[in-house]
Amino acid sequence: MIRVLIVGTGTMANDHADAFVAMDGVSVVGSVDPNPDNLHSFNAKYGIKHAFDSVDQALAWDAFDAVSVVTPDGIHHRTTMPFLAAGKHVLCEKPLATNTADAREMAAAAKDAGIVNMVNLTYRNVPALMQAATIVAEGQIGDVRHFEASYLQSWLNQASWGDWRTEDQWLWRLSTAHGSMGVLGDVGVHILDYATFAAGADTAKVSCRLKTFDKAEGGKIGDYILDANDSMAMHLALQNGAVGVIHASRFAGGHINDLRLRLFGTKGGLDVRFEQWRSTLRACLGDHLVSGTWADIPTPEVETNYTRFIAAIRNGTPVAPDFQRGADLQRVLDLAVVSDTQSARDQVV
């Protein structure tokens, strides 16, 4: 039996708990949260026996094998490092950290500890993405030359996921003081991983523009200063020579939660989508290039990150995306912020 501790009991923790309680040979044995209302209601919902208001308390108890870290972005580093030092296997929500130095320290500590470490980049669960990566790796579209990708949400336009003006679970995502990197760190990390993973190459160069829009009088709601970025536009050059663009926004009316990627190589192209919670893959290859004909490509089901994390623990094998991948992505996000800061000094023409 693999015993899992869940650290942080907010909205996303439900996805972790739902996945683990459905697995044979896995037991969610405890949870950690300094908010007693969240902690005890979460435990009651899932029948979890042990509740702790701090990481130190949980470590003193020590009756667990693996940890799911589902705390706010700004404290991933602080809540994860003690578990790595204790030799616990860790699945951490994305982004791994909010700066490269912390992310690299986490990756190094995980490597030194020799434990299973994984970043929960959830769109690795999308069959179309995983099949696209396989097609590219097999050389079916030739050398990748160009790509375009987007992650579009509209929850700042409408309340499909709740009212961000009144609910803390959304407001923290709009405030840097509450640990948010804005759309860049929240969904930008997803589409960056989505695009570069499928393209089969890491980032070599980045240029980025970030935008924070006025959303409330005085730019503040209660204790939340709404200064985190709401939209981003990024240009990338990859290590395989490909170039492309990535953009993301929370003001994309009509898109509740949609990801798109188009990859173009010397032998063809791919269209990879996760839209309206559906995964689809289309390709234009071989003789179809002349006519520009696109065909649907079958996409076998894939194991979820949660399943692969547990399997890696059982098998004693590495699993991707690991903490090093998280650190590599964080470096690009940090460079994007630097690029945007420097752009503020650009001359207007």
- Determine the pLDDT at residue 349: 43
- Determine the pLDDT at residue 206: 97
Residues of the chain with pLDDT under 50: 347-349
Cα–Cα nearest to 6, from 56, 61, 64, 57: 64
State the Cα–Cα distance between residues 153 and 258, nearest whole angstrom: 7
CB within 8 Å of 34: residues ≥ 6 apart? 53, 54
Residue 223 bridge partners (DSSP): none
Quick one: CA dihedral 193, 313, 125, 146, positive or negative?
Answer: positive
Query: Phi and psi for 156 in degrees, rounded to 5?
Result: -85, -10
The answer to whether 2-122 and 127-301 have equal CATH topology is: no
Summarised one tens digit per residue, pLDDT across range 251-308 is: 999 999 999 999 999 999 999 999 999 999 999 999 999 999 999 999 999 999 999 9
State the Cα–Cα distance between residues 7 and 69, nearest whole angstrom: 5
- Determine the pLDDT at residue 168: 79
User: Is the domain covering 127-301 a CATH 3.40.50.11540 domain?
Assistant: no
- Determine the pLDDT at residue 346: 55
Q: What is the CATH number of domain 2-122?
A: 3.40.50.720
Domain positions in the chain: 2-122, 127-301
CB within 8 Å of 14: residues ≥ 6 apart? 42, 45
